[in-house]
Amino acid sequence: MIRCPGRAWLGWPAHPGGRPGRHHRRHLPCLAAGLGGAFLLGTGTALVYPSLLAAVSDATHPAWRASALGVYRFWRDAGYAIGALIGGITAARASLDAAIGVAAVLTAVSGILAWAFMRETHPGPVAGGGRRVPQPGEAARRVNGGTT
């Protein structure tokens, strides 16, 4: 872990006189760590975002898919704002470590809720080429000739 001396934003200290000096070179590893973390966070978000849009698109009828994506984006953006408020208030009242802990717990809870309540909309073969897992009621539809 890189220890950054003084107050720092992305690893760059706030200089009281506003004049940088040669002692600022010791903050370059902090700046590099901050920029690297921001790059990794952005890359991870860019990799997961298309699958979130696909999940919303798969679960909605084509006639109201655009509206569903708008609602999804509204709640996503509201989450950014509310999450920033929760994080800032927690950091100010408790600590930065507590704010990170709250963010981790909220992320875990949202993942557990998605796992518990979201269902696959387009079931396919099992990974590895195995047999497809039948969905609830699928066997009854096959027996009754497609009617339940």
Residue 10 pLDDT > 50 = no
Output the pTM of the full model: 0.57
Model confidence at 49, in pLDDT bands (50, 70, 90)? Answer: confident
Residue 144 pLDDT > 60 = no
47 assigned to some structural domain: yes
In DSSP terms, which residues pair with 8 in a beta bridge?
A: 13
Same domain, 43 and 79: no
- The parent domain of residue 51 ranges over 27-59
Same domain, 73 and 95: yes
Q: Write down which residue in 36, 59, 82 finishes a domain.
A: 59
Question: Which carries the bigger pLDDT value, residue 39 or residue 6?
Answer: 39
Same domain, 66 and 101: yes
Percent of the chain exceeding pLDDT 70 equals 64
Residue 57 in contact with residue 65, Cβ under 8 Å? yes
Average pLDDT value over all residues in the chain? 78
The tally of domains found in the chain comes to 2
